[in-house]
Chains A and B, each alone.
Chain A
Amino acid sequence: MYGLLVLVAIALIFFADWEQIGESFFNVEIMRDMFPEVVTIAARNTIVYTALAFALGMIWALALALMKLSSVRPYRWFAMGYIELFRGLPALITIILVGFGLPLAFGWRIPGGTLGKGAIGLGIVAAAYMAETIRAGIQAVPRGQMEAARSLGMSPGTAMTYIILPQAFRIIIPPLTNELVLLIKDTSLLFVLGSTPQSKELTKFARDVMAAKVNATPLTVVAVMYLIITLPLTYLVRRLERKAEAEKR
Chain B
Amino acid sequence: MTAPPIEIRDLHKYFGELEVLRGISTTIRHGEVVCLLGPSGSGKSTLLRCVNRLEEPTSGSILIEGEDITSEDADVDGLRTRIGMVFQQFNLFPHLTVLRNLRIAQRKVLRRDTDEATKIAEEMLARVGLSDKIDEHPSRLSGGQQQRVAIARALCMNPDMMLFDEPTSALDPELIGEVLDVMRELAEAGMTMLVVTHEMGFALQVADRVIFMDEGVIVEEGPPREVLRNPQHQRTKKFLRAIEIE
Among the interface residues B91, B109, B150, B154, which one has the most CB atoms of the partner chain A within 10 A?
Answer: B91
CB pair A162–B104 under 8 Å, yes or no, is yes
Do A152 and B94 form a contact, CB below 8 Å, given A144-B87, A147-B54, A147-B87? no
Question: Which stretch of A37-45, A81-89, A163-171 is in the interface?
Answer: A163-171
Number of residues from A at the complex interface, CB < 8 A: 18
Residues on the B chain within 8 Å of A59, using CB:
none
CB pair B80–A153 under 8 Å, yes or no, is yes
Compute the total of residue contacts between A and B using a CB distance below 8 Å: 60
Number of residues from B at the complex interface, CB < 8 A: 25
Do A154 and B91 form a contact, CB below 8 Å, given A162-B104, A162-B108? no
A158 vs B109: C-alpha distance in the bound complex, in angstroms?
Answer: 9
Tell me whether B236 is interfacial, beta carbon within 8 Å: no
CB pair A166–B95 under 8 Å, yes or no, is yes
Q: Kindly report which residue of chain A lies nearest to residue B150, judged by CB atoms.
A: A148
CB pair B80–A151 under 8 Å, yes or no, is yes
CB pair B91–A152 under 8 Å, yes or no, is no
Contact residues of A between 123 and 150, Cβ < 8 Å to B: 142, 144-145, 147-150
A249 vs B155: C-alpha distance in the bound complex, in angstroms?
Answer: 32
CB pair B54–A153 under 8 Å, yes or no, is no
- Across the interface, A147 reaches (CB within 8 A) one of B91, B94, B108, B153, namely B91
A138 vs B91: C-alpha distance in the bound complex, in angstroms?
Answer: 16
On A, residues with C-beta under 8 Å from B are: 142, 144-145, 147-155, 158, 162-163, 166-167, 170
On B, residues with C-beta under 8 Å from A are: 52, 54, 77-78, 80-81, 83-85, 87, 89, 91-95, 104-105, 108-110, 150, 153-154, 157
